[in-house]
Structure 1
Amino acid sequence: MQMLTSRQPVPIYPFERDEITGSNAFSLVRSEGALPYEADVLLPHRKAYYMLVFVKHGRGRHWVDAVPYVRKDHTLYFSTPTQLLVKEEPTPFWGTRLTFTSEFLALQQHAALRNLPLIQNPHHGHELLLTAADEAVVDDLLAKLDAEHRRPGEWQHQMLSAYLLVLLTYLSRLYTEQFPGGEPSADQRLLRTYQARVEEHFRELHEVSAYAALLHISAGHLSEVVKAQSGKSAIKHLHERLVLEAKRLLFYTPQSLKELAFDLGFSDASYFNRFFKRETGLTPAEYRATIRKMYQ
Protein backbone atom coordinates (compact mmCIF):
# COMPACT_ATOMS: atom_id res chain seq x y z
CA MET A 1 0.00 0.00 0.00
CA GLN A 2 1.36 3.41 -0.98
CA MET A 3 1.50 6.41 1.34
CA LEU A 4 1.43 10.07 0.46
CA THR A 5 4.98 11.36 0.17
CA SER A 6 4.45 15.05 -0.44
CA ARG A 7 3.31 17.71 2.00
CA GLN A 8 0.17 18.49 0.05
CA PRO A 9 -3.18 17.72 1.66
CA VAL A 10 -4.95 14.43 1.04
CA PRO A 11 -6.35 14.81 -2.49
CA ILE A 12 -10.10 15.02 -3.00
CA TYR A 13 -11.15 13.61 -6.36
CA PRO A 14 -14.08 15.37 -8.03
CA PHE A 15 -17.09 13.69 -9.56
CA GLU A 16 -16.53 12.56 -13.14
CA ARG A 17 -19.20 13.38 -15.69
CA ASP A 18 -21.39 10.40 -16.55
CA GLU A 19 -20.46 9.09 -19.99
CA ILE A 20 -24.02 8.18 -20.99
CA THR A 21 -26.18 11.02 -19.66
CA GLY A 22 -23.55 13.74 -19.26
CA SER A 23 -24.72 14.27 -15.68
CA ASN A 24 -22.37 15.99 -13.23
CA ALA A 25 -24.22 14.56 -10.23
CA PHE A 26 -25.22 10.92 -10.91
CA SER A 27 -23.39 8.07 -12.59
CA LEU A 28 -23.81 4.33 -13.03
CA VAL A 29 -21.29 1.89 -14.53
CA ARG A 30 -21.80 -1.84 -15.03
CA SER A 31 -18.59 -3.86 -15.33
CA GLU A 32 -17.80 -7.34 -16.56
CA GLY A 33 -14.16 -7.21 -15.52
CA ALA A 34 -13.08 -4.39 -17.80
CA LEU A 35 -13.56 -1.36 -15.52
CA PRO A 36 -10.16 0.37 -15.30
CA TYR A 37 -8.84 1.92 -12.14
CA GLU A 38 -6.80 5.09 -12.37
CA ALA A 39 -3.38 5.07 -10.74
CA ASP A 40 -4.39 7.88 -8.38
CA VAL A 41 -6.70 5.60 -6.38
CA LEU A 42 -3.57 3.73 -5.28
CA LEU A 43 -2.73 6.77 -3.14
CA PRO A 44 -4.77 7.77 -0.07
CA HIS A 45 -7.60 10.04 -1.16
CA ARG A 46 -11.15 11.14 -0.58
CA LYS A 47 -13.93 11.27 -3.14
CA ALA A 48 -16.15 14.34 -3.37
CA TYR A 49 -19.20 12.12 -3.76
CA TYR A 50 -21.02 9.06 -2.43
CA MET A 51 -20.15 5.70 -3.94
CA LEU A 52 -21.84 2.28 -3.89
CA VAL A 53 -20.05 -0.68 -5.41
CA PHE A 54 -21.91 -3.98 -5.73
CA VAL A 55 -19.27 -6.67 -6.20
CA LYS A 56 -20.46 -9.85 -7.87
CA HIS A 57 -16.89 -11.00 -8.27
CA GLY A 58 -13.63 -9.29 -7.42
CA ARG A 59 -10.32 -9.77 -5.71
CA GLY A 60 -7.84 -7.61 -3.86
CA ARG A 61 -7.72 -5.48 -0.75
CA HIS A 62 -8.49 -1.83 -0.12
CA TRP A 63 -8.46 0.39 2.95
CA VAL A 64 -11.03 2.76 4.41
CA ASP A 65 -10.02 4.93 7.37
CA ALA A 66 -7.02 2.67 8.11
CA VAL A 67 -9.22 -0.46 8.16
CA PRO A 68 -8.35 -3.14 5.56
CA TYR A 69 -11.12 -4.83 3.58
CA VAL A 70 -10.46 -7.99 1.59
CA ARG A 71 -13.04 -7.77 -1.16
CA LYS A 72 -15.73 -10.45 -1.05
CA ASP A 73 -18.02 -11.68 -3.79
CA HIS A 74 -21.74 -10.85 -3.53
CA THR A 75 -21.04 -7.90 -1.22
CA LEU A 76 -21.88 -4.21 -1.31
CA TYR A 77 -19.29 -1.58 -0.42
CA PHE A 78 -20.18 2.04 0.15
CA SER A 79 -18.33 5.22 1.04
CA THR A 80 -19.19 8.80 1.93
CA PRO A 81 -17.23 11.95 1.04
CA THR A 82 -15.52 12.15 4.44
CA GLN A 83 -13.92 8.71 4.35
CA LEU A 84 -10.29 8.18 3.38
CA LEU A 85 -9.75 5.47 0.77
CA VAL A 86 -6.84 3.67 -0.88
CA LYS A 87 -6.47 0.56 -3.04
CA GLU A 88 -3.44 -1.72 -2.80
CA GLU A 89 -3.34 -2.58 -6.50
CA PRO A 90 -5.37 -1.98 -9.66
CA THR A 91 -7.83 -4.85 -10.01
CA PRO A 92 -10.94 -5.13 -12.19
CA PHE A 93 -14.24 -6.33 -10.80
CA TRP A 94 -17.54 -7.72 -11.99
CA GLY A 95 -20.48 -5.72 -10.73
CA THR A 96 -21.94 -2.22 -10.61
CA ARG A 97 -20.62 1.12 -9.41
CA LEU A 98 -23.12 3.84 -8.53
CA THR A 99 -22.03 7.37 -7.61
CA PHE A 100 -23.82 10.61 -6.79
CA THR A 101 -22.92 13.95 -5.23
CA SER A 102 -24.08 15.92 -2.21
CA GLU A 103 -25.62 18.39 -4.68
CA PHE A 104 -27.71 15.55 -6.10
CA LEU A 105 -29.01 14.79 -2.59
CA ALA A 106 -29.71 18.48 -1.99
CA LEU A 107 -32.38 18.55 -4.69
CA GLN A 108 -35.87 18.86 -3.20
CA GLN A 109 -37.09 15.64 -4.82
CA HIS A 110 -34.30 13.73 -3.04
CA ALA A 111 -35.08 15.03 0.45
CA ALA A 112 -36.04 11.53 1.62
CA LEU A 113 -32.62 10.20 0.65
CA ARG A 114 -30.58 12.61 2.73
CA ASN A 115 -31.65 11.20 6.10
CA LEU A 116 -31.32 7.51 5.29
CA PRO A 117 -28.89 5.63 7.59
CA LEU A 118 -26.72 4.51 4.68
CA ILE A 119 -26.22 8.14 3.64
CA GLN A 120 -25.78 9.51 7.16
CA ASN A 121 -23.49 6.55 7.99
CA PRO A 122 -23.21 7.32 11.73
CA HIS A 123 -21.10 4.18 12.31
CA HIS A 124 -18.57 5.05 9.57
CA GLY A 125 -19.35 1.69 7.99
CA HIS A 126 -18.23 0.50 4.58
CA GLU A 127 -19.26 -3.11 3.95
CA LEU A 128 -22.73 -4.67 3.75
CA LEU A 129 -22.96 -8.44 3.61
CA LEU A 130 -25.80 -9.67 1.39
CA THR A 131 -27.76 -12.89 1.66
CA ALA A 132 -28.77 -14.60 -1.60
CA ALA A 133 -32.22 -12.98 -1.26
CA ASP A 134 -30.69 -9.54 -0.62
CA GLU A 135 -28.38 -9.93 -3.60
CA ALA A 136 -31.31 -10.77 -5.87
CA VAL A 137 -33.18 -7.63 -4.77
CA VAL A 138 -30.12 -5.37 -5.12
CA ASP A 139 -29.13 -6.83 -8.48
CA ASP A 140 -32.68 -6.38 -9.81
CA LEU A 141 -32.87 -2.75 -8.67
CA LEU A 142 -29.47 -1.97 -10.15
CA ALA A 143 -30.57 -3.55 -13.43
CA LYS A 144 -33.68 -1.34 -13.44
CA LEU A 145 -31.55 1.72 -12.67
CA ASP A 146 -29.20 0.80 -15.49
CA ALA A 147 -32.08 0.38 -17.95
CA GLU A 148 -33.48 3.82 -17.07
CA HIS A 149 -29.98 5.29 -17.10
CA ARG A 150 -29.68 4.23 -20.75
CA ARG A 151 -33.16 5.47 -21.68
CA PRO A 152 -33.17 9.27 -22.00
CA GLY A 153 -36.50 10.99 -21.99
CA GLU A 154 -38.95 13.16 -20.10
CA TRP A 155 -39.45 10.62 -17.29
CA GLN A 156 -35.88 9.43 -16.90
CA HIS A 157 -34.98 11.56 -13.89
CA GLN A 158 -38.17 10.67 -12.00
CA MET A 159 -37.69 6.97 -12.67
CA LEU A 160 -34.04 7.06 -11.61
CA SER A 161 -35.01 8.89 -8.41
CA ALA A 162 -37.77 6.38 -7.65
CA TYR A 163 -35.55 3.32 -8.12
CA LEU A 164 -32.72 4.97 -6.19
CA LEU A 165 -35.04 5.69 -3.28
CA VAL A 166 -36.10 2.03 -3.15
CA LEU A 167 -32.50 0.79 -3.43
CA LEU A 168 -31.07 3.09 -0.76
CA THR A 169 -34.03 2.44 1.55
CA TYR A 170 -33.53 -1.31 1.20
CA LEU A 171 -29.81 -0.97 1.85
CA SER A 172 -30.50 1.29 4.83
CA ARG A 173 -32.61 -1.46 6.35
CA LEU A 174 -29.66 -3.81 5.95
CA TYR A 175 -27.41 -1.12 7.42
CA THR A 176 -29.51 -0.84 10.57
CA GLU A 177 -29.48 -4.63 10.92
CA GLN A 178 -25.71 -4.88 10.58
CA PHE A 179 -25.05 -1.65 12.50
CA PRO A 180 -27.90 -1.78 15.05
CA GLY A 181 -29.89 1.35 15.78
CA GLY A 182 -33.66 1.46 15.26
CA GLU A 183 -36.28 4.06 14.34
CA PRO A 184 -35.20 7.39 15.84
CA SER A 185 -37.14 9.21 18.54
CA ALA A 186 -36.93 13.01 18.84
CA ASP A 187 -33.94 12.66 21.17
CA GLN A 188 -32.27 10.18 18.80
CA ARG A 189 -32.78 12.61 15.94
CA LEU A 190 -31.11 15.30 18.03
CA LEU A 191 -28.17 12.95 18.62
CA ARG A 192 -27.86 12.28 14.89
CA THR A 193 -28.14 15.98 14.10
CA TYR A 194 -25.40 16.71 16.61
CA GLN A 195 -23.22 14.01 15.05
CA ALA A 196 -23.85 15.49 11.61
CA ARG A 197 -22.85 18.97 12.81
CA VAL A 198 -19.71 17.55 14.39
CA GLU A 199 -18.91 15.94 11.04
CA GLU A 200 -19.24 19.32 9.35
CA HIS A 201 -17.41 21.49 11.88
CA PHE A 202 -15.05 19.39 14.03
CA ARG A 203 -11.97 21.13 12.66
CA GLU A 204 -12.99 24.60 13.75
CA LEU A 205 -15.45 24.05 16.62
CA HIS A 206 -14.07 22.22 19.66
CA GLU A 207 -16.65 23.19 22.29
CA VAL A 208 -20.08 21.63 22.89
CA SER A 209 -21.52 25.09 23.50
CA ALA A 210 -20.70 26.05 19.90
CA TYR A 211 -22.77 23.13 18.58
CA ALA A 212 -25.60 23.92 20.98
CA ALA A 213 -25.67 27.43 19.51
CA LEU A 214 -25.87 25.98 15.98
CA LEU A 215 -28.83 23.84 17.08
CA HIS A 216 -30.50 26.70 19.00
CA ILE A 217 -30.62 24.78 22.28
CA SER A 218 -28.74 25.03 25.55
CA ALA A 219 -25.44 23.22 25.99
CA GLY A 220 -26.84 21.53 29.08
CA HIS A 221 -29.83 20.10 27.19
CA LEU A 222 -27.64 18.94 24.31
CA SER A 223 -25.21 17.25 26.67
CA GLU A 224 -28.01 15.57 28.62
CA VAL A 225 -29.72 14.16 25.51
CA VAL A 226 -26.51 13.00 23.84
CA LYS A 227 -25.38 11.23 27.01
CA ALA A 228 -28.75 9.56 27.54
CA GLN A 229 -29.06 8.38 23.94
CA SER A 230 -25.52 7.23 23.27
CA GLY A 231 -23.98 6.52 26.67
CA LYS A 232 -21.20 8.96 25.81
CA SER A 233 -20.92 12.62 26.59
CA ALA A 234 -21.26 15.20 23.83
CA ILE A 235 -17.63 16.20 24.23
CA LYS A 236 -16.60 12.55 23.91
CA HIS A 237 -18.29 12.33 20.51
CA LEU A 238 -16.39 15.40 19.40
CA HIS A 239 -13.09 14.11 20.73
CA GLU A 240 -13.58 10.73 19.06
CA ARG A 241 -14.17 12.44 15.71
CA LEU A 242 -11.00 14.49 16.12
CA VAL A 243 -9.05 11.36 17.03
CA LEU A 244 -10.44 9.48 14.01
CA GLU A 245 -9.29 12.23 11.66
CA ALA A 246 -5.93 12.45 13.40
CA LYS A 247 -5.45 8.68 12.98
CA ARG A 248 -6.33 8.94 9.30
CA LEU A 249 -3.74 11.65 8.74
CA LEU A 250 -1.07 9.98 10.87
CA PHE A 251 -1.48 6.74 8.95
CA TYR A 252 -1.80 8.01 5.40
CA THR A 253 0.14 11.28 5.25
CA PRO A 254 3.64 12.52 6.07
CA GLN A 255 2.32 15.69 7.73
CA SER A 256 4.40 16.86 10.65
CA LEU A 257 2.66 16.87 14.02
CA LYS A 258 2.58 20.64 13.95
CA GLU A 259 0.92 20.67 10.51
CA LEU A 260 -1.52 17.98 11.56
CA ALA A 261 -2.45 19.81 14.74
CA PHE A 262 -3.06 23.01 12.78
CA ASP A 263 -5.17 21.12 10.23
CA LEU A 264 -7.41 19.89 13.07
CA GLY A 265 -7.85 23.32 14.59
CA PHE A 266 -5.30 23.12 17.41
CA SER A 267 -3.20 26.27 17.67
CA ASP A 268 -0.68 24.52 19.94
CA ALA A 269 0.98 21.29 18.77
CA SER A 270 1.96 20.36 22.32
CA TYR A 271 -1.69 20.59 23.40
CA PHE A 272 -2.70 18.36 20.50
CA ASN A 273 -0.01 15.90 21.57
CA ARG A 274 -1.41 15.79 25.12
CA PHE A 275 -4.98 15.55 23.82
CA PHE A 276 -4.19 12.60 21.55
CA LYS A 277 -2.30 10.73 24.26
CA ARG A 278 -5.10 11.28 26.75
CA GLU A 279 -7.64 9.86 24.28
CA THR A 280 -5.60 6.94 22.92
CA GLY A 281 -2.84 6.18 25.42
CA LEU A 282 -0.20 6.89 22.76
CA THR A 283 1.45 10.04 21.52
CA PRO A 284 0.80 10.85 17.85
CA ALA A 285 4.38 9.84 17.00
CA GLU A 286 3.99 6.52 18.82
CA TYR A 287 0.70 5.81 17.08
CA ARG A 288 2.15 6.60 13.65
CA ALA A 289 5.15 4.31 14.22
CA THR A 290 3.01 1.49 15.61
CA ILE A 291 0.27 1.52 12.98
CA ARG A 292 2.65 1.73 10.04
CA LYS A 293 4.82 -1.07 11.40
CA MET A 294 1.72 -3.21 11.86
CA TYR A 295 0.66 -2.88 8.22
CA GLN A 296 4.01 -2.83 6.41
Structure 2
Amino acid sequence: MAERTLAEDGGASDGIDTFAFPVESSICGVGMQVGPMGTGPGWHGGAPLERVHRIDFHVVMFFTDGPVRHMVDFAEYEATAGDVLWIRPGQVHRFTTTGEYRGTVLAMQPGFLPRATVEATGLYRYDLPPLLRPGPAQLDALRAALAQLRGEYEDTTTLPLSLHTAVLRHSLSAFLLRLAYLAASSAEGARQRSDTTFTLFRDAVEKGFATNHSVSAYAEGLGYSRRTLVRAVRAATGDTPKAFIDKRVVLEAKRLLAHTDLPIGRVGVAVGFPDAANFSKFFHQHTDTTPAAFRAELR
Protein backbone atom coordinates (compact mmCIF):
# COMPACT_ATOMS: atom_id res chain seq x y z
CA MET A 1 0.00 0.00 0.00
CA ALA A 2 1.09 3.57 -0.51
CA GLU A 3 3.42 5.16 1.99
CA ARG A 4 1.83 7.29 4.69
CA THR A 5 3.24 10.26 6.50
CA LEU A 6 3.23 10.89 10.24
CA ALA A 7 1.23 13.99 11.06
CA GLU A 8 0.28 15.61 14.30
CA ASP A 9 -3.35 15.17 15.22
CA GLY A 10 -4.49 18.72 14.71
CA GLY A 11 -7.48 18.38 17.01
CA ALA A 12 -5.52 17.00 19.94
CA SER A 13 -4.32 19.32 22.68
CA ASP A 14 -2.39 16.58 24.45
CA GLY A 15 0.21 16.19 21.72
CA ILE A 16 -0.81 12.71 20.56
CA ASP A 17 0.59 11.93 17.11
CA THR A 18 -1.36 9.84 14.66
CA PHE A 19 -0.85 8.32 11.22
CA ALA A 20 -3.30 10.02 8.89
CA PHE A 21 -4.86 8.45 5.83
CA PRO A 22 -3.15 9.93 2.72
CA VAL A 23 -5.81 10.34 0.06
CA GLU A 24 -3.17 11.51 -2.37
CA SER A 25 -1.48 8.09 -2.22
CA SER A 26 -4.58 6.15 -3.24
CA ILE A 27 -5.25 5.17 -6.83
CA CYS A 28 -7.18 8.08 -8.35
CA GLY A 29 -7.12 9.78 -4.92
CA VAL A 30 -10.11 7.87 -3.56
CA GLY A 31 -10.68 7.43 0.17
CA MET A 32 -9.58 3.81 0.36
CA GLN A 33 -6.67 1.51 -0.45
CA VAL A 34 -6.46 -2.26 -0.85
CA GLY A 35 -3.42 -4.35 -1.62
CA PRO A 36 -1.13 -7.14 -0.45
CA MET A 37 0.63 -7.38 2.88
CA GLY A 38 4.26 -8.40 2.66
CA THR A 39 7.80 -8.02 3.93
CA GLY A 40 8.42 -4.52 2.55
CA PRO A 41 7.65 -1.31 4.50
CA GLY A 42 5.13 0.10 2.03
CA TRP A 43 2.08 -1.92 2.98
CA HIS A 44 2.03 -0.66 6.57
CA GLY A 45 2.68 2.91 5.51
CA GLY A 46 6.05 3.30 7.19
CA ALA A 47 4.54 2.95 10.67
CA PRO A 48 7.18 1.84 13.20
CA LEU A 49 6.79 -1.90 13.64
CA GLU A 50 8.26 -1.93 17.14
CA ARG A 51 6.35 1.05 18.56
CA VAL A 52 2.73 1.55 19.50
CA HIS A 53 1.01 4.18 17.37
CA ARG A 54 -2.45 5.34 16.42
CA ILE A 55 -4.30 5.76 13.14
CA ASP A 56 -7.24 7.94 12.11
CA PHE A 57 -8.69 5.48 9.61
CA HIS A 58 -9.96 1.90 9.41
CA VAL A 59 -7.57 -0.98 8.68
CA VAL A 60 -8.77 -4.51 7.91
CA MET A 61 -6.09 -7.19 7.63
CA PHE A 62 -7.16 -10.42 5.92
CA PHE A 63 -4.60 -13.12 6.73
CA THR A 64 -3.60 -15.96 4.42
CA ASP A 65 -0.79 -17.19 6.67
CA GLY A 66 0.31 -17.09 10.28
CA PRO A 67 0.43 -17.12 13.16
CA VAL A 68 1.06 -13.40 13.71
CA ARG A 69 0.71 -11.63 17.04
CA HIS A 70 -0.64 -8.08 16.88
CA MET A 71 -1.37 -5.66 19.73
CA VAL A 72 -4.59 -3.60 19.63
CA ASP A 73 -5.45 -1.31 22.55
CA PHE A 74 -2.80 -3.07 24.67
CA ALA A 75 -4.31 -6.53 24.19
CA GLU A 76 -2.41 -9.18 22.21
CA TYR A 77 -4.21 -11.08 19.45
CA GLU A 78 -2.86 -14.04 17.48
CA ALA A 79 -4.07 -14.22 13.88
CA THR A 80 -3.57 -17.04 11.43
CA ALA A 81 -4.76 -18.01 7.94
CA GLY A 82 -8.44 -17.14 7.44
CA ASP A 83 -8.57 -14.65 10.33
CA VAL A 84 -9.50 -10.99 9.99
CA LEU A 85 -8.16 -8.18 12.17
CA TRP A 86 -10.21 -4.97 12.17
CA ILE A 87 -8.54 -1.87 13.66
CA ARG A 88 -10.75 1.21 13.98
CA PRO A 89 -9.82 4.92 14.05
CA GLY A 90 -8.27 6.01 17.32
CA GLN A 91 -7.23 2.55 18.46
CA VAL A 92 -3.59 2.13 19.33
CA HIS A 93 -1.79 -0.83 17.87
CA ARG A 94 1.65 -2.31 17.24
CA PHE A 95 2.94 -4.64 14.56
CA THR A 96 5.07 -7.63 15.48
CA THR A 97 8.64 -7.91 14.26
CA THR A 98 8.80 -11.67 14.77
CA GLY A 99 6.01 -12.84 12.43
CA GLU A 100 5.42 -12.41 8.72
CA TYR A 101 2.26 -10.65 7.60
CA ARG A 102 0.71 -12.34 4.57
CA GLY A 103 -2.63 -11.57 2.97
CA THR A 104 -4.59 -8.50 1.91
CA VAL A 105 -4.92 -5.21 3.78
CA LEU A 106 -7.73 -2.70 3.33
CA ALA A 107 -7.55 0.89 4.58
CA MET A 108 -10.54 3.23 4.52
CA GLN A 109 -10.83 6.90 5.32
CA PRO A 110 -13.70 7.97 7.59
CA GLY A 111 -16.17 9.86 5.47
CA PHE A 112 -15.64 7.79 2.34
CA LEU A 113 -18.94 6.00 2.91
CA PRO A 114 -22.35 7.67 3.46
CA ARG A 115 -23.55 8.01 7.05
CA ALA A 116 -26.34 5.46 6.58
CA THR A 117 -23.83 2.88 5.40
CA VAL A 118 -21.51 3.67 8.29
CA GLU A 119 -24.32 3.00 10.74
CA ALA A 120 -25.45 -0.16 8.95
CA THR A 121 -21.94 -1.61 8.89
CA GLY A 122 -21.17 -0.82 12.53
CA LEU A 123 -17.88 0.85 11.67
CA TYR A 124 -17.54 2.29 15.17
CA ARG A 125 -18.52 -0.72 17.27
CA TYR A 126 -15.54 -0.40 19.59
CA ASP A 127 -17.16 -2.86 21.97
CA LEU A 128 -16.51 -5.75 19.55
CA PRO A 129 -13.19 -7.60 19.54
CA PRO A 130 -10.91 -6.72 16.62
CA LEU A 131 -10.00 -10.34 15.79
CA LEU A 132 -12.63 -12.23 13.78
CA ARG A 133 -12.59 -15.91 12.78
CA PRO A 134 -15.09 -16.59 9.97
CA GLY A 135 -16.36 -20.10 9.30
CA PRO A 136 -15.74 -21.77 5.92
CA ALA A 137 -18.83 -20.37 4.18
CA GLN A 138 -18.30 -16.88 5.61
CA LEU A 139 -14.63 -17.03 4.66
CA ASP A 140 -15.43 -17.89 1.03
CA ALA A 141 -17.95 -15.05 0.82
CA LEU A 142 -15.53 -12.54 2.37
CA ARG A 143 -12.75 -13.62 0.00
CA ALA A 144 -15.03 -13.16 -3.00
CA ALA A 145 -16.22 -9.75 -1.82
CA LEU A 146 -12.67 -8.60 -1.12
CA ALA A 147 -11.44 -9.85 -4.50
CA GLN A 148 -14.27 -7.95 -6.19
CA LEU A 149 -13.39 -4.81 -4.24
CA ARG A 150 -9.70 -5.07 -5.09
CA GLY A 151 -10.47 -5.60 -8.76
CA GLU A 152 -12.66 -2.50 -8.85
CA TYR A 153 -10.01 -0.47 -6.98
CA GLU A 154 -7.30 -1.39 -9.48
CA ASP A 155 -9.50 -0.92 -12.57
CA THR A 156 -9.08 2.73 -13.50
CA THR A 157 -9.71 2.49 -17.25
CA THR A 158 -13.26 1.27 -17.81
CA LEU A 159 -15.19 3.99 -15.98
CA PRO A 160 -14.91 7.74 -15.47
CA LEU A 161 -13.70 8.75 -12.01
CA SER A 162 -17.14 9.63 -10.64
CA LEU A 163 -18.57 6.23 -11.56
CA HIS A 164 -15.36 4.45 -10.48
CA THR A 165 -15.72 6.01 -7.03
CA ALA A 166 -19.43 5.14 -6.84
CA VAL A 167 -18.73 1.50 -7.74
CA LEU A 168 -15.96 1.37 -5.13
CA ARG A 169 -18.34 2.60 -2.45
CA HIS A 170 -20.88 -0.08 -3.35
CA SER A 171 -18.25 -2.85 -3.41
CA LEU A 172 -16.75 -1.64 -0.14
CA SER A 173 -20.20 -1.51 1.46
CA ALA A 174 -20.90 -5.10 0.40
CA PHE A 175 -17.64 -6.30 1.93
CA LEU A 176 -18.12 -4.35 5.16
CA LEU A 177 -21.71 -5.51 5.59
CA ARG A 178 -20.48 -9.10 5.52
CA LEU A 179 -17.67 -8.25 7.92
CA ALA A 180 -20.00 -6.40 10.29
CA TYR A 181 -22.42 -9.31 10.33
CA LEU A 182 -19.58 -11.64 11.23
CA ALA A 183 -18.50 -9.36 14.08
CA ALA A 184 -22.02 -8.88 15.44
CA SER A 185 -22.92 -12.56 15.23
CA SER A 186 -20.04 -13.68 17.40
CA ALA A 187 -21.16 -14.91 20.82
CA GLU A 188 -19.81 -11.89 22.65
CA GLY A 189 -21.13 -9.41 20.11
CA ALA A 190 -24.58 -10.96 20.08
CA ARG A 191 -24.84 -10.83 23.87
CA GLN A 192 -23.73 -7.22 24.00
CA ARG A 193 -26.07 -6.08 21.23
CA SER A 194 -29.09 -7.82 22.71
CA ASP A 195 -28.68 -6.44 26.19
CA THR A 196 -30.07 -2.91 26.18
CA THR A 197 -29.17 -2.38 29.83
CA PHE A 198 -25.54 -3.21 29.20
CA THR A 199 -25.44 -1.14 25.99
CA LEU A 200 -26.73 1.94 27.81
CA PHE A 201 -24.25 1.37 30.63
CA ARG A 202 -21.36 0.89 28.20
CA ASP A 203 -22.23 4.13 26.39
CA ALA A 204 -22.58 6.02 29.67
CA VAL A 205 -19.17 4.78 30.86
CA GLU A 206 -17.60 5.79 27.55
CA LYS A 207 -18.88 9.34 28.06
CA GLY A 208 -18.22 9.63 31.78
CA PHE A 209 -15.32 7.39 32.82
CA ALA A 210 -12.92 10.34 33.12
CA THR A 211 -14.92 11.80 36.00
CA ASN A 212 -17.33 9.11 37.20
CA HIS A 213 -16.15 5.77 38.61
CA SER A 214 -19.24 5.06 40.73
CA VAL A 215 -21.42 2.07 39.87
CA SER A 216 -24.27 3.49 41.95
CA ALA A 217 -24.10 6.81 40.11
CA TYR A 218 -24.33 5.09 36.72
CA ALA A 219 -27.22 2.92 37.90
CA GLU A 220 -29.11 5.93 39.23
CA GLY A 221 -28.44 7.95 36.08
CA LEU A 222 -29.77 5.14 33.87
CA GLY A 223 -32.77 4.45 36.09
CA TYR A 224 -31.75 0.89 37.05
CA SER A 225 -31.18 -0.73 40.39
CA ARG A 226 -27.61 -1.64 41.19
CA ARG A 227 -28.59 -5.33 41.16
CA THR A 228 -30.09 -5.07 37.66
CA LEU A 229 -26.95 -3.38 36.38
CA VAL A 230 -24.71 -6.03 37.95
CA ARG A 231 -26.70 -8.84 36.28
CA ALA A 232 -26.66 -7.16 32.86
CA VAL A 233 -22.95 -6.36 32.86
CA ARG A 234 -21.98 -9.78 34.17
CA ALA A 235 -24.10 -11.51 31.49
CA ALA A 236 -22.55 -9.42 28.72
CA THR A 237 -18.91 -9.39 29.82
CA GLY A 238 -18.40 -11.75 32.72
CA ASP A 239 -17.23 -8.76 34.78
CA THR A 240 -18.81 -6.63 37.48
CA PRO A 241 -19.75 -3.04 36.57
CA LYS A 242 -16.86 -1.79 38.71
CA ALA A 243 -14.37 -4.01 36.86
CA PHE A 244 -15.76 -2.78 33.51
CA ILE A 245 -15.30 0.87 34.55
CA ASP A 246 -11.81 0.21 35.88
CA LYS A 247 -10.72 -1.50 32.65
CA ARG A 248 -11.85 1.49 30.62
CA VAL A 249 -9.99 3.87 32.94
CA VAL A 250 -6.82 1.75 32.73
CA LEU A 251 -7.02 1.64 28.94
CA GLU A 252 -7.26 5.42 28.69
CA ALA A 253 -4.39 5.83 31.15
CA LYS A 254 -2.26 3.49 29.06
CA ARG A 255 -3.08 5.45 25.91
CA LEU A 256 -2.07 8.73 27.51
CA LEU A 257 1.10 7.28 29.01
CA ALA A 258 2.10 5.77 25.68
CA HIS A 259 1.25 8.68 23.40
CA THR A 260 1.82 11.85 25.37
CA ASP A 261 4.48 13.45 27.52
CA LEU A 262 1.93 14.54 30.11
CA PRO A 263 3.28 14.29 33.65
CA ILE A 264 1.95 11.22 35.42
CA GLY A 265 -0.04 13.39 37.79
CA ARG A 266 -1.85 15.03 34.87
CA VAL A 267 -2.57 11.64 33.33
CA GLY A 268 -4.19 10.71 36.62
CA VAL A 269 -6.30 13.87 36.60
CA ALA A 270 -7.39 13.11 33.02
CA VAL A 271 -8.86 9.76 34.11
CA GLY A 272 -10.44 10.93 37.34
CA PHE A 273 -7.68 10.78 39.96
CA PRO A 274 -6.78 14.27 41.26
CA ASP A 275 -4.24 12.72 43.63
CA ALA A 276 -1.17 11.30 41.84
CA ALA A 277 -0.48 8.77 44.58
CA ASN A 278 -3.99 7.34 44.35
CA PHE A 279 -3.66 7.10 40.56
CA SER A 280 -0.34 5.25 40.82
CA LYS A 281 -1.80 2.85 43.38
CA PHE A 282 -4.86 2.20 41.18
CA PHE A 283 -2.73 1.66 38.07
CA HIS A 284 -0.39 -0.73 39.88
CA GLN A 285 -3.30 -2.74 41.27
CA HIS A 286 -4.66 -3.32 37.77
CA THR A 287 -1.44 -3.76 35.78
CA ASP A 288 1.19 -4.98 38.25
CA THR A 289 3.42 -2.11 37.18
CA THR A 290 3.71 1.60 37.86
CA PRO A 291 2.72 4.31 35.38
CA ALA A 292 6.36 5.37 35.06
CA ALA A 293 7.54 1.82 34.39
CA PHE A 294 4.79 1.25 31.84
CA ARG A 295 5.75 4.42 29.96
CA ALA A 296 9.46 3.59 30.08
CA GLU A 297 8.86 0.09 28.67
CA LEU A 298 7.27 1.56 25.52
CA ARG A 299 9.96 4.14 24.85
| TM-score normalized with structure 2 length | 0.70
SS class of match (1:221): coil
Q: 1:257·1:284 contact (CA, 8 Å) conserved in 2?
A: no
1:198 to 191, 202, 205: 205
Distance 2:108 2:228 in 1: 33
Q: Is the 1:148–1:159 contact (alpha carbons within 8 Å) kept by the matching residues of 2? A: yes
- Aligned equivalent of 2:130, options 126, 132, 154: 126
Unaligned runs of 5+ in 1: 1-7
Matched, 1:229 2:236: no
Q: Is the aligned partner of 1:79 residue 2:79? A: no
Matched, 1:135 2:139: yes
Report whether the alignment pairs 1:15 with 2:18: no
User: How well do the aligned residues superpose, as a CA RMSD in angstroms?
Assistant: 4.1
Q: Percent identity?
A: 23
Alpha carbons of structure 1 residues 184 and 161: separation in structure 2 relative to 1, 3 Å:
farther
Contact 1:53 1:76 in 2 (8 A): yes
Aligned pairs for 1:28-43 within 5 A: 28-31=34-37, 36=42, 37=44, 38-43=46-51
CA distance in 2 between partners of 1:13 and 1:225 (Å): 42
Match of 2:246 in 1: 239
SS in 1 for 2:65: strand
Q: Is the CA contact (8 Å cut-off) linking 1:188 and 1:229 kept in structure 2?
A: yes
1:266 matches 2:273: yes
What residue in structure 2 maps to residue 148 of structure 1?
152
Q: Distance in 1 between matches of 2:92 and 2:216?
A: 29
Q: Which amino acid aligns with 2:32?
A: F
Query: For 2:262 and 2:145, how far apart are their aligned partners in 1?
Result: 43
Tell me, in whole angstroms, the C-alpha distance in 1 between the residues paired with 2:204 and 2:21: 24
Distance 1:194 1:98, change over 3 A: farther
Q: Residues of 1 paired with 2:172 and 2:33: CA distance?
A: 12
Distance of 1:33 and 1:133 partners within structure 2: 29
Corresponding residue pairs, total: 274
TM-fit CA distance, 1:47: 1.0
Gaps of 5+ in 2: 1-13
Distance 1:21 1:208 in 2: 51
- Match in the other structure for 2:173: 165
Q: Which amino acid aligns with 1:128?
A: L
Partners of 2:113 and 2:252 in 1: CA distance: 24
Equivalent in the alignment of 2:3:
none
Q: What SS does the corresponding residue of 1:57 show, helix, strand or coil? A: coil
Distance 2:146 2:15 in 1: 35
Structure 1 position 96, deviation (Å): 1.7
The 4+ residue runs of structure 1 with deviation greater than 6 A are 208-212, 251-255
1:135 Cα shift? 2.7
Deviation at 1:20, TM superposition (A): 0.6
CA distance in 2, matches of 1:96, 1:200: 35
The reply to whether residue 97 of structure 1 matches residue 102 of structure 2 is no
Task: Describe the SS at the equivalent of 2:27.
Answer: coil
Deviation, structure 1 residue 51: 1.2
